[in-house]
Structure 1
């Protein structure tokens, strides 16, 4: 099992230039064996060179111990092995040094040049030694002298080629593993980044849905309850004077309450059920980000599909009329089907504008205009100044100040235009224009 990233870095616990302790132990062992070999071969070298034996042994030990630095300075180790080749010592030093050089990250031209020098040195020394041994036999011509070049070439190739080829293979494999490790680290970072982005996207989707549901709740509760309060105030005012009208107002209050409860149940049911109104069954665990995003999208679609439409606009205006408001509804153009978002937003704008009239201008004459155009639908709700204070019972309706903000968010979210403000005559006007088709990015 391989390690990646920080785990791989933490595994580098060797002393000095060694990555691991076992690598240091291996090099120390190889250096000791090489030093012993070169020290033993130094005895013959000292005898042939006419030097004291201690000098030859010490020279061999120092030369063989150079194998300790094969990972740090492989070029120096190979050069030392080439230098002591004429002394006929350093067989292990040559093989391990060439392997370490080929497995290192040095350019291949350097490896090839030093391997060629080592092969040439081994070839020359082998030929000279073989020729001398044959000459010492005393035969003329020496027996087997024609085979000396063949033996020398075979020995040079046998000593040089295998460690070089093995080193090249190990070095390539090591580089491949490092590349795979880096790739795995990059993939892990990308997956982590994607997970963070997915969580951010899910959180954004959840926040958007909270805002959408809050707007829906505000529209339903504010309008229905406002009408209920208006009817209750009227009921209080006429309870003793006109019992029949009081009964009608009480019935209207009950109807409004039931409608509000029905819409709230439908809206809350969206949050508890999935597609088709079926309860969501437990499934295999999935990431929280995916659950949040999917739930938000499902809730958004369900709210859009179950929301009100322009066909219910007459009923909406009729409810305001029943509450005592003088409302004039006019429609221009040929009605046609629109996207669910467009129809729901248009309906909610008119609904919220009428609710504001109930709250802030009770008894004022109100005009609702709806225009169907080629590429857009326009709506306007304008009320005249309210009658003199005291002429109408005070319903004391609270205001949260979020109605106009919610309408503007709805309209601009679909690429439309929203304008609201007081009129010159002392009334208030709310205007909105929505595109007939919902933009693809909306």
Structure 2
């Protein structure tokens, strides 16, 4: 038992009345060993008392007291070894010496102290053995070579000292290895739990971003189309009796815009339904690349049931990534800069005075850039319909070297124009800013000195051939 473990046992089991022992069988083992050692030392103490002329009961009592020290081996192994070294000249305490050296080597006592005490014990046993063997040979009148006594003393002292020390070192190293493996397993479990929490957070963030993107798309699609429909419906109501032909044209425009809005809504809902059942092959491949996640084709089961807790958030991330990939694919077929002129024409048909100015060489860009530029112009025109009825509008589209810029500026609202009464959620400018900044662009909006409003955006671009 280590010194640290002994202190923990003393703190944890003191309330149970077991002193420094962690388990009952440990206490029983130490008590039994101490009893056997006390009996051994007591018996050897009687012989020692006869040799030095001390009363036998006193020698037996001394041996019993010395052997009983072994009960302290887990708490104070150094003291036990020192006592065993001290009684070695009396030729007693062999069991105490062996068990004490083993406990000392297996504990967390510094290796320098262990080496010193083991060397002292080896020297003490060697000296006592050397003297005893030499006396026995002299008494038996047995002539031997000069190397016999030192060799026998070295063999006996090494046999009593080296095995318990080596075995104790092995047990101590094995115990420390098991503790380190246990700590590593605990740390790995904590890391898995942390990874699962982070994956859940990423999945939650992906879901929030996806909901925000869908809400932005729905706002752009519905707000513009419905705003134009409301404007045309108001114009239709005003000219229905005066100019039937114009009323028919306005009604046709309202129908066309309604059908376009329904078509775009069906496309978006179709994307949502197609990504709902489960992750596609790309999500499965992403899942297969997750560290620690076994492959289904390998036939190897999961190493721990705890991993299943992290599979769910990781799979959610895969589904969110698949939905984003599907949305990116749909974006390739979405609106582009070529449709800006049609967008402006629709506003003109609704009665708005709009001028489109295109500067620079017209060229194709990446789908996300073109769609973002289109949505900025679309939302800016929608805001003019809502908040500046009858105002004149200038739409500027500039193609530059490595960027494309767009600006929608309207003058003050015409007080004589009838307000269409369109509701506003206040999210149009926020959505435009999010779209532009997501691509690394710059977005600026605000009132003009003439009393109008201006929306400007600059997007970094790359040609479609290299995007």
Q: Of 342, 345, 351, which residue of structure 2 is paired with 1:318?
A: 345
Deviation of residue 240 (structure 1)?
2.1
The correspondence of residues 21-170 of structure 1 with structure 2, limited to 5 A, is 21-137=24-140, 139=141, 142-144=142-144, 147-170=148-171
Match in the other structure for 2:412: 385
State the distance in 2 between where 1:161 and 1:280 align.
66
1:226 aligns with 2:253: no
Structure 2 unmatched ranges of 5 or more: 1-7, 285-295, 297-307
State the distance in 1 between where 2:42 and 2:51 align.
15
Q: Of 335, 342, 345, which residue of structure 1 is paired with 2:372?
A: 345
State the distance in 2 between where 1:291 and 1:175 align.
39
State the distance in 2 between where 1:29 and 1:273 align.
75
* Further displaced range: 62-71 or 406-415: 406-415
Deviation of residue 145 (structure 1)?
7.3
Deviation of residue 280 (structure 1)?
5.4
Deviation of residue 125 (structure 1)?
1.4
TM-score, with structure 2 as normaliser: 0.84
Which segments of structure 1 move beyond 4 Å, counting only runs of 4 or more? 11-14, 143-146, 277-286
> How many residue pairs were aligned?
424
Match in the other structure for 1:4: none
State the distance in 2 between where 1:106 and 1:144 align.
42
Deviation of residue 273 (structure 1)?
2.0
TM-score, with structure 1 as normaliser: 0.88
State the distance in 2 between where 1:89 and 1:73 align.
20
Match in the other structure for 1:297: 321
* Further displaced range: 332-341 or 81-90: 332-341
Please tell me whether the aligned partners of residues 225 and 257 of structure 1 are also in contact (alpha carbons under 8 angstroms): yes
Q: Of 427, 437, 459, which residue of structure 2 is paired with 1:402?
A: 427
State the distance in 1 between where 2:36 and 2:184 align.
39
Please tell me whether the aligned partners of residues 134 and 145 of structure 1 are also in contact (alpha carbons under 8 angstroms): no
Match in the other structure for 1:182: 183
Match in the other structure for 1:423: 448
CA deviation map 1:94-130 (0-9, x unaligned): 1111111111222222222211211121122122222
Q: Of 354, 363, 387, which residue of structure 2 is paired with 1:327?
A: 354
Q: Secondary structure at the match of 1:16?
A: coil
CA deviation map 1:244-271 (0-9, x unaligned): 2222222222221221122112222222
Deviation of residue 304 (structure 1)?
3.5
Deviation of residue 155 (structure 1)?
0.9
Q: Secondary structure at the match of 1:287?
A: helix
Please tell me whether the aligned partners of residues 231 and 253 of structure 1 are also in contact (alpha carbons under 8 angstroms): yes
1:205 aligns with 2:219: no
* Cα RMSD for the two superposed structures: 2.7
